[in-house]
Structure 1
Amino acid sequence: MQDVQNGPAKVAMPIDRVGVKELRTPILVRNRDHKENVQHTVASVDLSVDLPAEFKGTHMSRFVEALEAWDEELDYKSFKRLLGNVRERLQAKRAHLTFRFPYFLERTAPSTGSKGLMDYQCELTGVLEGDQLSFVLGVEVPVMTVCPCSLAICHGGAHSQRAIVTIRTRSTGLVWIEDLIAVAEKAGSSPVHSVLKREDERDVVDSAFANPAFVEDVVRSAAHSLQKMEQVSWFRVDVESQESIHNHSAYASIEMENTH
């Protein structure tokens, strides 16, 4: 049967990335605190490779076959093996891979001890070229922020809002998703909870108003905590405050190589 993809291209131009996006697959993710050590979740997966100028197309089914053949706990080594398999199947120089998935943690309300699950959107992105894997772990964490300015100038109140703290890291050792979530939640005025009774709501609000924070404060606090993590070699923190009284969002970002 004719292999059209391996035929000549009408326009002989190399392509940086060609592949498939948003494949869905169940995965196992290492869990720092749970007694079973792994968490079952579902990921959206993007796979791509480079394509030389002389080829018309790539073999899209091989991306799916590589993912179907992969049945491992998601970590650095298994991630690299999957990229290597993709690159070998597609006879490429570089392979690109992204996993996006929700990660769940049980949270306890501060006063009543009521428990509920919080989900955090995570992302693993990597590029394999030769034997070198560039690997980035990211997580999005919602927090509450109280405006220091309105707290200072208003009588008996201040505006508050939800902010999204996005942390991305490269590392030389193991970094737990839980550790990055803790960094983000500590940087805000208060964590966000899934279950709150009246007593809990009172305590959360009182605690948040005792710890007001601009978006600049949040991004600096998170970056300062990441600086102290020896296994983190590079990080980027983005904070977007979804303002409650303004018709816009407030935003701040810090990107840094981490030298110890």
Structure 2
Amino acid sequence: MNEFDLTTREGRFKHFGSVDPIQGTKPKEKHEMADLQSTKKDFLFEVDSVGINNLSYPVKVGDFQSVGTFELATSLERDEKGINMSRILESLHSENDNGIRLDFDSVGRILDTLRERMVQDAAELSVDTKWYFNKPSPVTKLDAYAHADVAYSMRKSESEVEFQTFSMAAQVTTLCPCSKEISEYSAHNQRGVVTVSIDVDPEVGAPENHKEIIYEILEINASSQLYPILKRTDEKVVTERAYENPRFVEDLIRLIAYDLVELDWIVGFDLECRNEESIHQHDAFSRLSYTK
């Protein structure tokens, strides 16, 4: 005969191995519990960064809500054993308004709150997400949402912003100049992915429309753009534009680099274009780094 009443949840739990909690001897009230993280003695080294990553949290990017993947950390003094990691989420949530609005102002405020709550000199944050925006078709003007991958990163100490970067990965069309030159009929083209990581001058700061500025630079220098919706008249414009503007990956990053260098709020960048080749089993890529 079963010793437990299987008609109750408690009985079923015990039937599957659950046991009653023990009384225990350790404290149950917070003020009585040991705070190991706050232990003070010589722990041999300062720590540059300690915190959490792979944190999924709602964000607002432009006009739309998205989901960000965060890493947040602070420095740690040599005489401190550890940090109180629950304060990291508290600091992030202090900027929450149905999502964290992603721009350098809000990221800076999160870092100030994090440094203060952790009583540490420096804090850092990085987050990557998708930016959604309306992109009408070129001729018929049909609305639909396009997207690009974006990321923000900042490290801030009591005295200064040590670095702040903005990154974007956008898809474009590239048409092969060599193919156009040698072929009797048309030329091969492919989807390219352009990725840029920008070092923003802390003294100048990024303009409010920095996402739109960078996206336009990545697209306008390619053979043609990608659109969510294309009717026949749109497709004609897009494909003919590509044929009129052939680009090697080397061409594309040089053209983009020129536009980036002219922006006074950018002090340096890392740039890559990768083509998903349509007539090869491999990809083609080109990279360029620049510091003013």
* TM-score between both structures, scaled by the size of structure 2: 0.78
Q: Which residue of 2 aligns with 1:162?
A: 191
Deviations 1:67-95 (A, max 9, x none): 11223643333221211111222222221
Q: Which residue of 1 aligns with 2:245?
A: 211
What SS does structure 2 have at the residue aligned with 1:115? coil
Deviations 1:29-88 (A, max 9, x none): 4x4xxxxxx543332221012233444432221111111122364333322121111122
Question: How many percent of aligned residue pairs carry the same amino acid?
Answer: 29
Could you tell me how far apart the structure 1 residues matched to 2:226 and 2:115 are? 41
1:152 to 147, 169, 181: 181
Asked if 1:25 corresponds to 2:54, the answer is no
Deviations 1:202-254 (A, max 9, x none): 22111101111000111011111112222323222221222222232222222
What SS does structure 2 have at the residue aligned with 1:131? coil
Which shows bigger deviation, 221-230 or 244-253? 244-253
2:127 to 99, 104, 113: 99
Could you tell me how far apart the structure 2 residues matched to 1:49 and 1:244 are? 45
Highest RCO, 1 vs 2 (Cα 8 Å, sep ≥ 6): 1
Asked if 1:41 corresponds to 2:66, the answer is yes
Q: Which residue of 2 aligns with 1:12?
A: 44
2:229 to 195, 201, 207: 195
Could you tell me how far apart the structure 2 residues matched to 1:163 and 1:49 are? 37
Where structure 2 has 5 or more consecutive residues not aligned to the other structure, the ranges are 1-32
1:243 to 267, 273, 277: 277
What SS does structure 2 have at the residue aligned with 1:22? strand
Q: Which residue of 1 aligns with 2:22?
A: none
Q: Which residue of 2 aligns with 1:141?
A: 170
Deviations 1:105-156 (A, max 9, x none): 2112122222211011111100012321121111111101011112212221
The residue type paired with residue 243 of structure 1 is E
Q: Which residue of 2 aligns with 1:81?
A: 109
* TM-score between both structures, scaled by the size of structure 1: 0.87
Q: Which residue of 1 aligns with 2:21?
A: none
Q: Which residue of 2 aligns with 1:34?
A: none
Deviations 1:1-56 (A, max 9, x none): 11223347997344332211132333334x4xxxxxx5433322210122334444
Could you tell me how far apart the structure 1 residues matched to 2:126 and 2:228 are? 28
Q: Which residue of 1 aligns with 2:29?
A: none
Asked if 1:183 corresponds to 2:208, the answer is no
The answer on whether the counterparts of 2:42 and 2:80 sit within 8 Å (CA) in structure 1 is no
- Number of aligned residue pairs: 251
The residue type paired with residue 95 of structure 1 is A
Structure 2 CA distance for partners of 1:131 and 1:11, relative to 1, 3 Å: closer
Could you tell me how far apart the structure 1 residues matched to 2:45 and 2:279 are? 50
Q: Radius of gyration: which is bigger?
A: 2
Where structure 1 has 5 or more consecutive residues not aligned to the other structure, the ranges are 32-37
Structure 2 CA distance for partners of 1:112 and 1:243, relative to 1, 3 Å: same
The structure with the greater share of residues assigned to strand is 1
Could you tell me how far apart the structure 2 residues matched to 1:74 and 1:96 are? 15
Could you tell me how far apart the structure 2 residues matched to 1:54 and 1:23 are? 28
The residue type paired with residue 125 of structure 1 is S
The residue type paired with residue 226 of structure 2 is V
